[in-house]
């Protein structure tokens, strides 16, 4: 084993989505890892191989890492003592009533880590933070433990592909200080990620501010791409053009690319919406708000799609939602996830219900979360239950199971064969051939 493949003792502070996946992945890479999680029940569950969220492939990885003896979980920060590397993986949600990010958890985690941090150890921030945070935390670290160093190392994992994205990322970004401390931080990070580095993964070594901004800039770009095509969908609706064909055609240009040009209900989840808002708030604090005013429009376009979807449902239901039965297929913010944070699907479902429709929601994985957090919505287990006697069916999260529904058989369950494809994901011809009236955002009505 070469020096760069040496196993390290690592702590991961905060074992939510990012932290739990990161901790198990670091153990998979051969390191000895302790995950520190304040929520005692969550820490105990993880230690027993129970995953508190749906993420394909993660349970197997967690169990394998636990069985190797290299991964443990605790609620006591003292167990992080002596680790060569400490990863900060806590959440940075949107502050209530504001656009800015709430840094409470980052600050609390750093404060508790400083109590156990030893000389020569490396603190690595992975949370998505407003630019400038790392420099501030580096000062705190330097004041308390002069020989310790802070690095900023954002992650780019997507829900649904979290394991793959952590073990085989498309790039590594290290934000480090100048001079010998920075060189040491880079060397230690290369040891942590030895296998990933050996795969010739592109690596960008930079300063703190750039590393922090890479993350928010990437998410802003993705959000902009989605809102761009959704703005085109609005125009298509006004002109009778077809947004799917438009996306296919412009996507053939390599410089544009077809990915993230799927028009529909728009983006949700725990990342893109809050990240673009926090980015705008930070730009305002820095006196550069004009640079990001376009993101306000990106956000507006995105939110308008939800309103338009409700409008479309009203139109197909002969102009009134009152007393109509509507089936909503999908509740998670995207397929292969049970995450319902800022889910466009639930937002639309709730609006339909408020406007007098009887709404039945279903989702292959998110049902439990819907019942827990959206008790006012009725949630059932199967699409057939949701669609029984329905006046309209809305596909709002493009799960494979829904794309594979047989429109002829499914048509026997509903009262009226009307389908609204909120994700432009269904085989339109097949549904129309089975006698369904098909409507979608940005599509020509045939
Ligand atoms: C996003 C980024 O893609 C990750 O790179 C990043 O690491 C992560 O946020 C994060 O900050 O932690 P994620 O929130 O898992 O990942 O979801 P995406 O796959 O980006 O999808 C976001 C939303 O956009 C979903 O609601 C999806 O339905 C929607 N979307 C995506 C579209 O409406 N159209 C598209 O063409 C693509």
pLDDT digits (tens, 9 = 90+) for 269-305: 999 999 999 999 999 999 999 999 999 999 999 999 9
Those residues whose C-beta lies under 8 Å from the C-beta of residue 106, and which sit 6 or more positions away, are 88, 90, 92, 125, 127, 129, 133, 137
Residue range 3-206, CATH number:
3.40.50.720
Residue 30 DSSP one-character state:
T
> Residue 4: what pLDDT?
65
Per-position b or e across 69-85, b if 16+ CB within 10 A of its CB: ebbbbbbebebbbebbb
Residue 444 binned pLDDT confidence (cut-offs 50, 70, 90): confident
CB atoms within 10 A of CB 6: 13
Whether 78 shows a pLDDT value over 80: the answer reads yes
Residues 331/367, Cβ–Cβ less than 8 Å: yes
Distances (CA, A) of 86 to 36, 213, 412: 10, 21, 57
Distances (CA, A) of 283 to 131, 213, 292, 293: 9, 11, 7, 9
pLDDT digits (tens, 9 = 90+) for 88-98: 999 999 999 99
Whether 3 shows a pLDDT value over 90: the answer reads no
Could you tell me the distance, in angstroms and rounded to a whole number, from the CA of residue 271 to the centre of ligand 1? 8
Residues 7/26, Cβ–Cβ less than 8 Å: no
Residue 1 binned pLDDT confidence (cut-offs 50, 70, 90): low
Residues 402/431, Cβ–Cβ less than 8 Å: no
The predicted model gives 221-239 an average pLDDT of 97
**Residues identified as active-site:** 271
> Residue 2: what pLDDT?
58
Tell me the domain boundaries of the chain.
3-206, 220-440
pLDDT digits (tens, 9 = 90+) for 106-151: 999 999 999 999 999 999 999 999 999 999 999 999 999 989 999 9
Whether 6 shows a pLDDT value over 90: the answer reads no
Which atom, in ligand 1's list, is nearest to the CA of 259? 36
Please determine whether the domains at 3-206 and 220-440 fall in the same fold group of CATH: yes
Alpha-carbon gap, residue 74 to 298, rounded angstroms: 41
pTM (2 d.p.): 0.96
| Residues 220-440, CATH architecture | 3-Layer(aba) Sandwich (3.40)
> Residue 398: what pLDDT?
98
Could you tell me the distance, in angstroms and rounded to a whole number, from the CA of residue 226 to the centre of ligand 1? 9
pLDDT digits (tens, 9 = 90+) for 23-34: 999 999 999 999
The protein residue whose alpha carbon is closest to atom 3 in ligand 1 is 158
Q: Which stretches does DSSP call E strand in 158-202?
A: 172-175
First to last CA, the chain: 64
> Residue 212: what pLDDT?
98
pLDDT digits (tens, 9 = 90+) for 168-197: 999 999 999 999 999 999 999 999 999 999
């Amino acid at each position: 084993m070469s020096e760069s493949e040496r196993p390290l003792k690592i702590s991961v502070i905060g074992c939510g989505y990012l932290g739990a996946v990161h901790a198990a992945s670091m153990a998979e890479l051969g390191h000895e890892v302790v995950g520190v999680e304040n929520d005692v029940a969550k820490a105990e569950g993880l230690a027993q191989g129970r995953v508190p969220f749906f993420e394909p492939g993660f349970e197997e990885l967690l169990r394998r890492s636990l069985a190797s003896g290299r991964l443990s979980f605790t609620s006591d920060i003292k167990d992080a003592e002596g680790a060569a590397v400490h990863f900060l993986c806590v959440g940075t949600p949107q502050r209530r009533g504001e656009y800015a990010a709430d840094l409470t958890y980052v600050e609390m985690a750093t404060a508790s880590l400083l109590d156990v941090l030893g000389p020569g150890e490396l603190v690595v921030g992975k949370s998505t933070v407003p630019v400038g945070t790392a420099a501030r935390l580096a000062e705190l670290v330097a004041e308390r433990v002069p020989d310790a160093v802070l690095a900023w190392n954002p992650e780019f994992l997507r829900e649904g592909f979290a394991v793959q994205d952590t073990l085989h990322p498309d790039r590594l970004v290290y934000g480090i200080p100048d001079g010998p401390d920075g060189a040491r931080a880079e060397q230690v990070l290369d040891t942590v990620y030895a296998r990933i580095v050996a795969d010739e993964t592109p690596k960008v070594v930079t300063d703190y501010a750039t590393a922090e901004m890479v993350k928010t800039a990437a998410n802003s770009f993705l959000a902009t791409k989605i809102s761009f095509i959704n703005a085109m969908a609005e125009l298509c609706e006004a002109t009778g053009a077809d947004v799917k064909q438009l996306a296919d055609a412009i996507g053939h240009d390599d410089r544009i690319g077809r990915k993230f040009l799927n028009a529909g209900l728009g983006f949700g989840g725990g990342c893109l919406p809050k990240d673009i808002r926090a980015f705008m708030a930070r730009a305002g604090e820095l006196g550069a708000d004009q640079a990001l005013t376009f993101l306000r429009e990106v956000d507006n376009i995105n939110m308008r799609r939800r309103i338009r979807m409700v409008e479309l449902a009203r139109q197909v239901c002969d102009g009134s939602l009152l007393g109509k039965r509507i089936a909503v297929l999908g509740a998670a913010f995207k397929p292969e996830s049970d995450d319902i944070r800022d889910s466009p699907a639930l937002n639309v479902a709730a609006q339909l219900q408020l406007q007098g429709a009887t709404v039945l929601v279903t989702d292959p994985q998110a049902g439990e979360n819907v019942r827990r957090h959206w008790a006012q919505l009725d949630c059932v287990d199967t699409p057939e239950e949701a669609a029984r006697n329905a006046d309209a069916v809305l596909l709002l999260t493009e799960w494979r199971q829904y794309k594979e529904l047989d429109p002829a058989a499914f048509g026997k369950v509903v009262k009226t064969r009307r389908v609204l494809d909120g994700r432009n994901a269904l085989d339109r011809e097949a549904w129309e051939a089975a006698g369904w009236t098909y409507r979608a955002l940005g599509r020509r009505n045939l």
